[in-house]
Structure 1
Amino acid sequence: MSPRVTLSVFAGAVVLAAGAGAFALAHADEQPPALGDSVARYTAPRVDRDGSLTFTTDVAASSGVESVTILAYPENSSLARQKPTAKDMAAAESATCEPSGHDTARCTYTVPVPVTATDADASPGGLWHVAVLATADDGSSTLDPEAADFTVQ
């Protein structure tokens, strides 16, 4: 093979490798949001105080976090048997998200009214799940139907 042909083949390989690398980087930017460190904290009401429910999760999205919605549901419900869908999440509650690092946000939802003893008595006892739908600024989304659990007693 002549040196000119060898150089052309080498240059072509470098261009192809650079193009593949650029494609991989562009594709990495299109990944859906990633959830991490999801925790639900339920405090049961007592005689001397109301209860509460707070949920937190970390969301990583290279394009930014557009919205995070959450839906709590009991283990012994029809929703648990079918698993929540994105359509179910349309009526869910919105979390508040604050930047917590490069391409990440810490999102928190707290039930806006205190959980009273009457509320707790009217709710199914036992295991509950928290479903989370995170949507990035680029429109991609991630649904985790069981991001966290808590127990109502």
Structure 2
Amino acid sequence: MSRRTVVLSTLTAALLVGGAGAFAVARTADEPPVLSESAARFTAPTAKRDGGLVFITDVTAPSGVKSLKVLAWPEDGPFSEAKNKLTAKDLAEVESADCVDAEDDTVVCTYDAPVTAKDLTESPRGTWHIATLATAEDGTTTFADRTATFTVR
């Protein structure tokens, strides 16, 4: 094989591998955040102490996680009707969870809300859902209206 053929083959291979790598990097940068290991725990208040709602989830995004918005809503509430379905736009102005780095592109996010005896008396009983809006650093988002479920008794 001539030297010219070897050089051209090497350059072609390098360009193909480099191009594939650049495509893979560009492709993963546009991937939306992924939530996993999501769980909610509701503790009712007692005469001696307040209760609370704790929601925890892992969020993974190749470009990094910018924020996780969290909203608890009752199944028999206003968002249960077909004409009033909860949307990502509804979560734009709600509270954010606190997120800490875990590994690689993953953060662990925790949302902790106190629940007083007064809150409990004013809240519907039954099934509640946790809605989430995860936003990656590159602007991609993932919305879910039922990321986790808990019961208020």
Equivalent in the alignment of 1:118: 118
CA separation in 2, counterparts of 1:28 and 1:147? 23
Q: 1:75-96: CA deviations, max 9, x gaps?
A: 0122133432111002211111
Deviates more, 1:77-86 or 1:29-38: 77-86
Using structure 2 for the length normalisation, give the TM-score. Answer: 0.84
Residue aligning to 2:33: 33
In the alignment, is residue 44 of structure 1 matched against residue 56 of structure 2? no
> Where does 1:59-98 land on structure 2 (aligned, <5 Å)?
59-81=59-81, 82-98=84-100
Name the amino acid aligned to 1:139: G
Alignment partners' CA distance in 1, 2:118 and 2:27: 51
Q: Deviations over 1:12-65 (max 9, x none)?
A: 984556534531332022201111111111001122222111111111111111
Number of aligned residues: 146
Superposition deviation, residue 71 in structure 1: 0.5
Instruction: Specify the SS of the correspondent of 1:93.
Output: coil
Looking at structure 2, the residues matched to 13 and 78 of structure 1 have their Cα atoms a distance apart, in angstroms, of 60
Contact preservation (8 Å) 2:29, 2:138: no
Q: How do residues 127-142 of structure 1 correspond to structure 2 at under 5 angstroms?
A: 127-142=127-142
How many angstroms apart in 2 are the aligned matches of 1:64 and 1:21?
19
Quick one: distance in 2 between partners of 1:26 and 1:130?
32
Structure 2 letter corresponding to 1:80: S
Partners of 2:106 and 2:17 lie apart in 1 by 30
Structure 1 unaligned segments of length 5 or more: list them: none
* Unmatched segments (≥5 aa) in structure 2: none
Q: Distance in 1 between matches of 2:129 and 2:98?
A: 19
